[in-house]
Structure 1
Amino acid sequence: MHSGEIIMVILLIIGLVARSNLISVCACILLFLQFSKLDFLFPYLETHGLELGLLFLLLSILVPIATERVTGRDLLYNVTSLPGILAIVGGVMATHLNSEGLKLMQIDPGIIFGLIVGSVIGILFFNGQPVGPLMAAGVASLFLEVLSWFS
């Protein structure tokens, strides 16, 4: 077994222990692709996987609008009220952090393991909800930026 396969098995076990179906399923899919000699798909997944993930995330978020469970009036209120304005500011901050996290993961892909371990700790001990490593990388990037100010 190669080191990549061993790490995928470790991630599978971590995902099972942490009850994180996403980590477990992703590890299984990658192991399947490796063992079935379909690993030629890895470059495609690496370059387009994030876009595919965001596509499905946005689809799930927009379904209530498409099904009219959220109306135009609701949307207008939610961008003009204080909570709505704070949500806009939060969205701006989150997308900026996500952008910085993406840069960090491109510069240092090995950091993903630490992000996953941190997510598992958050799930197990702080009742956290993992929504992907991108935001975790953004927060880590922020921490690294602040740390660089002091060194």
Structure 2
Amino acid sequence: MPGVPQLVILLMVGIVARSNLISIAACILLILRLSNLNFFFPLAERRGLEAGLLFLLLSILVPVANGVVTEKDLVYNLTSLPGILSIIGGALATHMNGEGIRLMHLEPEIIFGLIIGSIFGIILFNGVPVGPLTAAGISALFLEILYRKKYNH
């Protein structure tokens, strides 16, 4: 059955690295695959990223909803140097995320390297695994520099 060995490897990597998110994702996909619920894969592929980003944004915006961030804070942070730099950072990050999506569509097997790199980042640098799109975007940038051309063949 295609994909099962790779999902088992991802599950084991997630367990060894103590990454619950990788382990749970691999388990869910493995169960769907073994249950012949393959009709779910196109839906997850099309809308899974949006659903994940929705929950990420919900968690990030809770301080706004709780009133911890005031209108005065918002104005200051949009007009101060840190605020302006965060706007630039946000624009750059979304651009890199777009490049990452393109790279993952062109070479979906790159996800294994991104996961291993994320695990190294968690273990070695106490990182948080919320940026696979940005990781793919940075990888696309490295490939663009290495090959001196846009990586979108």
Q: What's the counterpart of residue 126 of structure 1?
A: 125
Per-residue CA distance 1:15-58 (angstroms, 9 max, x = gap)? 11212111111001101111222121001101111111111111
CA distance in 1, matches of 2:100, 2:66: 33
2:11 paired residue number: 12
* Structure with the larger RCO, 1 or 2 (CA within 8 Å, 6+ apart): 1
What amino acid maps onto 1:87 in structure 2?
S
SS of the residue 1:68 aligns to: coil
CA distance in 2, matches of 1:107, 1:149: 18
SS at match of 2:67: coil
Relative to the length of structure 1, the TM-score reads 0.93
> Within 2, Cα distance between the matches of 1:76 and 1:117?
40
RMSD, matched Cα: 1.3
| Equivalence for 1:33 | 32
Amino acid at match of 1:26: A
Q: Which residue does the alignment assign to 2:66?
A: 67
TM-score, length-scaled by structure 2: 0.92
Shift of 1:77: 1.2
Aligned length: 149
Segment drifting more, 77-86 vs 97-106:
77-86
Amino acid at match of 1:8: L
